[in-house]
Amino acid sequence: MKLKQRVVLLAILLVIFIFTKVFLIDNLDTSAANREDQRAFQRMLAGLRVALEPRLEHTLQSPWEIAAQWVVPREVYPEDTPELGAVMHAMSTKRIVKADVGYKGTQLKALLILEGGQKVVFKPKRILGFRRAPLVVGRFVNLRTEIKPVATEQLLGTFMTVGNNTCFYGKCYYCRETEPACADGDIMEGSVTLWLPDVWPLQKHRHPWGRTYREGKLARWEYDESYCDAVKKTSPYDSGPRLLDIIDTAIFDYLIGNADRHHYESFQDDEGASMLILLDNAKSFGNPALDERSILAPLYQCCIIRVSTWNRLNYLKNGVLKSALKTAMSHDPISPVLSDPHLDALDQRLLSILATVKQCTDQFGPDVVLVEDRMTLSHL
């Protein structure tokens, strides 16, 4: 079964991080607040299947105008919106009016302009309420009739025919004429990612737990178990939510097998208050039998985690994550999205994350490890 990475990533974000805060440290809390949170969780599960409907009710705005208004410093789309299906439907069906080479990066992509002026990024098939990743939906594209007639000369110059298949290799760091992406005939299966509004410019940061990518040279975090103490003394990790965002992201990356988050983006001029935006997830879902534990280094070296994240992860054990992901991805035009071995691997990795947090609570106590969402590093 082929993998459709970016659709899976959005589904995981929806499943893992869209619920409200739940207190499950020992699974014995029966307070009224917790019972309501459990009901909220069940409502979330019931709403995972997003119908891609073309209608936008009670508004004269275009789907692109609605999506642009969703973006705020801590999320790129709201927790509950009736227009979500219509926006994703537009992403998967609106006419392509222009096609160009993708923006800078290591992976093949094309920048498309859809009817109505909306930018999207198309990535060919290649192999948590964070709401911190742009919307993604699967799409089948006819390269001959939909892309080539509206392609720029720069993109068109990378097209070729291999056998009976239309192919292109685009422009990127690893893009080679000898390794094009090929359609099945003229039809290419891929994902479409909604471009963030221009009024929200991005700022790039080096990830404090990034790898050196130099043979024989380790990053400091790979040999210094007290490395997190140094990180906590540097901006923007010495205050605000950024370090907790880094740890949330490590959990997400471990689940999807992404050991390549060397940089990350936030909104500009945020003074450390905006979210860590999950944009570069291309090197994910490789070998389902391989677990790269070092991805969790921010978690096991800092030994702190948001209470809400801990609770959500607890809710998803015992096969709930696999079941919820299947439901969340079942609506997609390119469903089925992920193979059973990868779904099983997600469930196993979830258990490893829970065990890591338990080791931290056994060593330091839950009062130190489990951090209330309203708290920042300046309170710790």
Q: Rounded distance, CA 285 to CA 337, Å?
A: 12
- Cβ atoms of 244 and 303 within 8 Å: the answer is no
| Of the candidates 133, 160, 150, 92, the residue with the CA atom closest to the CA atom of residue 335 | 92
Which residues does 30 contact at the CB level (< 8 Å), separation at least 6?
none
Residue 48 CB: number of other CB atoms within 10 A? Answer: 19
How far is Cα 118 from Cα 104, in angstroms, rounded to an integer?
19
Alpha-carbon gap, residue 190 to 3, rounded angstroms: 10
Structure-token pair, residue 135: 């919307």
**Annotated binding-site residue? 310:** no
Catalytic residue set: 260
Residue 193 assigned ligand-binding role = yes
| Distance, C-alpha 178 to centroid of its chain | 30
| Residue 280 assigned as binding residue | yes
SS3 string, 14-44, reads HHHHCCCCCCCCCCCCCCHHHHHHHHHHHHH
Rounded to whole angstroms, the Cα distance separating 211 from 81 reads 38
* CA distance linking residue 336 with residue 187, whole number of Å: 17
Q: Is 245 annotated as a binding residue?
A: no
Signed CA dihedral, 170, 173, 177, 183: sign only: negative
Angle of CA points 292, 293, 296, to nearest 5°? 120
Break the chain down into helix, strand, coil percent, rounded to 5: 35, 15, 45
> Is 123 a known ligand-binding residue?
yes
Phi, psi of 205 (to 5 degrees): -130, 145
Check if the beta carbon of residue 332 is closer than 8 Å to that of residue 91. Answer: no
70 marked ligand binding residue: no
Is 278 marked as a binding-site residue?
A: no
Q: Which residues are annotated as a binding site for ATP?
A: 107, 123, 193-196, 265, 280
Q: Which residues are annotated as a binding site?
A: 107, 123, 193-196, 265, 280
